[in-house]
Each structure stands twice: as C-alpha cells, then as structure tokens.
A and B are shown apart, each in its own frame.
Chain A
C-alpha cells in the first residue's frame, strides 16, 4: 500500500520536475556560483520527481550564497535538506498521511533538523488528529526542541496537550510559555515538565514522562 501511494505520488510529480529545473536555475542565477546552480538544479529535479517541495532547497542555496559559504558546503547542505525532506515524507506516510502537502513535509524536515527522529515525527503525525494540523504539530515540536527542550520531552508535551483535548491555540502557545519560564530562570526541560503536568491535570489528560536525570538540557549549557 505504501509503495502504491509513493508510486502515484512520483507519477503525478513528473511534469512538476521538468518545470522545477527551469525555475531553480532562474532563481539561483547570479546568486550562487554556476556549479551550485547545476547541482541544486539536479537535486531539485529529483526531489520534485518524488513529489516533494523544492522551495526549501532553493532557499537554502540562496542562503548559502548570501552568507558566502563555499560551493561545496552549499551543495552538501542542499543534499542534506533533500534527504530530510525524503525522510520526513516517509515518516509522514508511516504516520498515516499518504500524500502530504508541502507545508507538512517541510514541517517534518524542520522537526528532523531540530533533532527529532523519524519515529518521533511519525508519532506526532499519528497523534495529530483533527482539529490539530500535523504541520503545526511538527512545527511546535521543532520549535520546542530549538528552544532547548529535549526532543523526546517535546514530543511528549505535544502529545499530552493533544490528549488533554486542549485547543489548537494552546498548542501554538507552548513555545512562548517555555520561553517565559526560561526567562524566569527555569531550564527548558523544567519548563516543559511544568507544562506537561498542567496538560495532564486537564480533563482526559495523561502525564508525560519526566526527562532522564542528567539529560534535562542537552542543547544549552
């Protein structure tokens, strides 16, 4: 079933791949060295052929050019990002989304980039039943991880919030609540623990697991 879904996606994406090549070259011309244009054009064409969004690849190349990063590093970063998009699409498929939209794939790639594993991405997508948007769920978890919350704890906090039946707006406010707690002196892990306990005390909630000792804040000293 998964193979069939991916095959349909690939066939439908073939015309997009041809258009993507021309578009990529036009957008990169003059912003990055010619070898980067050629490499990114090929990577983007292959990515588009698999039905995945190519705009993040172009943006990454442009960013590399703007930051005067060496061509090799720009190409490597674009390749890594393309692989993350692939990995995210597979995790989304495993989570129950056969043909994910571009923003969900990009959200998955962001989550992977922030330190979540493919299994965690899959679990989050699986937990994101309506009215929760999987793209938003993934972005929230990615942002929590970027704030320094350990990835597993970020995933559990998001899942606990969903399980407690809190409003989607409450989910969106988690990162700013963590930031506020950190500003008051808590570590990101402590802040997330407090929010997790609050979610568990809501009707229908369940408590998230506590972070293992010594791993409360792996992203920050």
Chain B
C-alpha cells in the first residue's frame, strides 16, 4: 500500500506543477500517479431512496430527546462575561441587608451542642432527663424549672428495663432538680454534679445549665 506521494508529485496531482517540471527521478512516480487518478470513475453516485430513508431513520432514533437536549444545554458549562456598573451607596445598602439577614438567621436557630437537647423558642431548650430506676412505679422530675412541682413532669418508662425518660422545654439558665420516685423518694441524677440542698440530712440536688447551645454540665 502506498503510504504517500512525494510532495512535488502531490503538487502535480493538484495541478500546481506539470509533469515536465518534476525532477527526472520523480518522473516515473508522477506518471504512475497521473495514470491512477485518470483511471478513477468520476461519475456521480446516486444512493437508492430506500437506503437514505433507512439511514435517516436510524439517525433520528439515536438523536437526543428534547428533554435530554434541554438538560445538556443547561448542564454544559459556558463562559459568561458579566459587567456590572453600581453606585457606592447601593453596595453599602446591599452589604447591610446581607448582614441583617445573616444576623436574623444566626439569632433564630443555633444548633444544639448535645444530643440530649434541642432548641425551641428562644428562651427555652428541650432537655431529656433519664433515670434508671428498676422497680419504680412512678418517676417524676422536679426542680427550679417547674417550681419543684413533683406532679408537673412525669417520666415515661422506656420498656421493661427500668429506664425512665422525659423531655422538657426548660428555660435558659442554671437549674437544680431531682427525681421523685414513687412520690416520696427524692433521687439525684447520677449523670450530673450535685450540691447540698441546704435543708440538712445530707440531701442533694442535681445541677444542669441550660444554654442556647443546649444542656450541659455547668
């Protein structure tokens, strides 16, 4: 298979040179090339109508659907050049508006820092209280957040394993509390620090700090 003619022979085929203008060593190659080109049938080819219809049908079948084309149009990255002309006061107004919006977002919904607390309205946070009291018939929690009302916040038994739990909306601040088991026994929360309750007899209260970020040991 011929890999290619000499550049001068190619110019001969292109009509840029005549055979006589080729150097003697290329004369044979030039004649051969002209002979081959002259032997080519240059009559126009007409495809049968059925073949054209078949080809076009196949092309349409493989063409992208309108939705696909639309998605491709949207997803294809393009270079855009945006020229904005602003006045300084409008920049400041925009910055102030953005700052106000940010402040509003930040002040609304801080994320809880512990899994036991989630945020409710601004001055309260949901706090989960848990006590392991196997054999207890009733458990409540009373403290400074509910004016020590031992009927205000009953805990619910979580299955038969002796785990009692409740979730309360507790005001922000430092609180003291205790669990009341079966309406008569005051029990501190073993998971939290405790302080003397001041009434003598060695009784103590648990402490919890409720902050906007959740409940913590403080």
A77 within 8 A of B: yes
List, sorted by A's number, 29 A–B pairs whose CB atoms are closer than 8 Å. A59-B148, A60-B198, A62-B147, A62-B148, A63-B148, A63-B205, A64-B199, A65-B148, A66-B150, A67-B148, A67-B199, A69-B199, A80-B198, A81-B198, A106-B174, A110-B174, A113-B196, A139-B209, A140-B218, A143-B207, A143-B209, A143-B218, A146-B207, A147-B193, A172-B216, A173-B216, A175-B193, A175-B216, A176-B218
Closest residue on chain A to residue B208 by CB atoms: A143
B34 within 8 A of A: no
Given known pairs A66-B150, A106-B174, A179-B217, the reply for A143 and B199 (CB within 8 Å) is no
B194: which A residues are within 8 A, CB to CB?
A: 146
Shortest CB distance A148–B (Å): 8
Complex Cα spacing A64 to B186, Å: 12
Secondary structure of the A side of the interface? Answer: helix
A175 contacts B218, C-beta separation under 8 Å? yes
A139 contacts B142, C-beta separation under 8 Å? no
Q: Within B168-201, which residues are at the interface with A (CB < 8 Å)? A: 173-174, 176, 186, 193-200
Shortest CB distance A99–B (Å): 20
Complex Cα spacing A77 to B144, Å: 16
A16 within 8 A of B: no
B217 contacts A175, C-beta separation under 8 Å? yes
Counting chain A CB atoms within 10 Å of each CB, the highest count among B148, B149, B176, B205 belongs to B148
Indicate with 1 or 0, residue by residue over A68-107, a CB within 8 angstroms of chain B CB atoms. Answer: 0100011001001100000000000000000000010011
B174 contacts A176, C-beta separation under 8 Å? no
Complex Cα spacing A77 to B197, Å: 8
B203 within 8 A of A: yes
- Pick the 4 closest A-B CB pairs, nearest first: A146-B193, A66-B148, A77-B198, A175-B217
Complex Cα spacing A139 to B172, Å: 14
A202 within 8 A of B: no
A73: which B residues are within 8 A, CB to CB?
A: 199-200
Complex Cα spacing A140 to B195, Å: 13
A146: which B residues are within 8 A, CB to CB?
A: 193-195, 207
A77: which B residues are within 8 A, CB to CB?
A: 197-199
